[in-house]
Structure formats: structure tokens, C-alpha cells
Amino acid sequence: MQTTFPRWCCAVLVSALAYSASSATRPAPATPRPLRKASDLIRRQEPVKINQSLLKQITPDAVHVVVSLPKQRAYLMTGEQVVIDSPISSGKRGHSSPSGHFSVLEKDPNHRSSIYGDFVDGSGRIVRAGVSARIDVAPSGTHYVGAAMKWFMRLTGDGVGMHVGILPGYPASHGCIRMPADGAKLFYDHVKVGTPADVGDY
């Protein structure tokens, strides 16, 4: 016993020291990164910019609209000068906003979409949101209510226009030019039916 006890003791001591050394060099588990908030994924756009001195001088007869799809901006212009510069959200892939030379065909301060909206019941409760009146069938006891398009300025006979909408920082609409409420109201107040509007790669 006197000869085996020290050997056993030494073996335990060596094992303990080896485990301690390996634990000391083992990297600590990585801390998981916190999930990003949805708001962080939305690219913030520059707000509406207004040239106040020009705004006081313009009339609906002297302005035209330019919509830049690459820049996701809309400009109310007089000659070559920018009066109002507003962020927009144009049509997403598969529903691209049409490019070309247009004019304002209609102005409606409280327009509603005839194509996209919700199915609601008799009490006004939304039963199905984000439906297409062309494709979806209304559930029993519901009816179609078109999506609100406040300060609507129609550009095409197919219903594409400029109006208040959600701006996530990239093209996201079904073809219309979405604008912030303040920008849409300013454009609406300073254009007329017949005002030229160019949409494209400007």
C-alpha cells in the first residue's frame, strides 16, 4: 500500500492539472447576436425637401412632375428648378411602375383602389386583408373595400397614380407611386389636371 498510494495520488493530480489546463484554453461559447429590429431593415430615406422661395412663386400652370425610379424620388419642377423633392416607393418586381411621358388625368383627395383592398364584414371588421378584387373571392357576409389612396393624382387609364402610402425605402407598390402624406399633399395642391409627369430613369 505504501508504494501504490503515491502513484495513484500522482495519477489523479496529473489528470486534474491536465483538465484544468485544457479548460483554461478552451474558448468561451460565442454570444449570439441579437436579432435586428424590423425598423433596422427599412432603409431610411431623406425626408421631403422644399424650396420655400420657389413654392411661393409657382402656379399649377408653370410646374411639371419628374419621378426618378432609380433614386426613388419625385420632383415638382418649375423649368429646371426643383421646388419639392419627395421620397417615393414605386412598383415592385412584377408590378413595375410604367415609364414614360404622362399627365395628371384626375385628382381625387379621397380615392380608393378598385383593384386592391380588403374584404370586410357588416361591422367594418377586416376579414381578409390585402386582396385583389380581380382574383380573390369575397367570403360569405363580406364585401370589398378598396385601399385608401389619399391625395390621388392619376397618371394612367389603368389606375396608376401618385398617392399617400407606405415607404419602406425600396420599390414595394403594385405600380403606383407611393408618397409620404406631406409630400403627396404638396404635390396635389400644386398640380392640375393636365400637368405633365415624366416617370423613368432620371
Residue 36 domain-assigned (yes or no)? no
> What integer is the mean pLDDT of 29-47?
68
Q: Which tens digits make up the pLDDT trace of 121-152?
A: 999 899 999 898 889 999 999 999 988 899 99
Other C-beta atoms closer than 10 Å to the C-beta of 150 total 17
Instruction: Tell me what pLDDT residue 146 has.
Output: 87
Per the structure, the complete domain to which residue 99 belongs is given by 41-115+149-200
Residue 4 domain-assigned (yes or no)? no
Q: Which tens digits make up the pLDDT trace of 3-17?
A: 555 565 555 555 555
Q: Which pTM value belongs to this model?
A: 0.75
Q: Which tens digits make up the pLDDT trace of 46-64?
A: 999 999 999 999 999 999 9
Q: Strand 143-154 to strand 81-87: parallel, antiparallel, or no bridges (unpaired)? A: unpaired
Cα→Cα distances 42→38, 104, 143, Å: 7, 30, 33
> What integer is the mean pLDDT of 106-127?
91
The string of DSSP letters for 49-100 reads: EE-HHHHHH--GGG-EEEEETTTTEEEEEETTEEEEEEE-B-B-TTSPPPPE
> What integer is the mean pLDDT of 112-122?
89
Structurally, how many domains does the chain consist of? Answer: 1
Question: Which long-range contacts does 117-125 make (Cβ < 8 Å, 24+ apart)?
Answer: 117/144, 117/145, 117/146, 117/147, 118/144, 118/145, 118/147, 119/143, 119/144, 119/145, 120/145
Residue 78 domain-assigned (yes or no)? yes
Residue 142 domain-assigned (yes or no)? no
Residue 98 domain-assigned (yes or no)? yes
> Are the C-beta atoms of 107 and 197 separated by less than 8 Å?
no
Residue 47 domain-assigned (yes or no)? yes
Residue 99 domain-assigned (yes or no)? yes
What's the CATH number where 176 sits? 2.40.440.10
Residue 21 domain-assigned (yes or no)? no
Percent of the chain residues past pLDDT 90, beyond the cut: 68
> What integer is the mean pLDDT of 28-36?
66
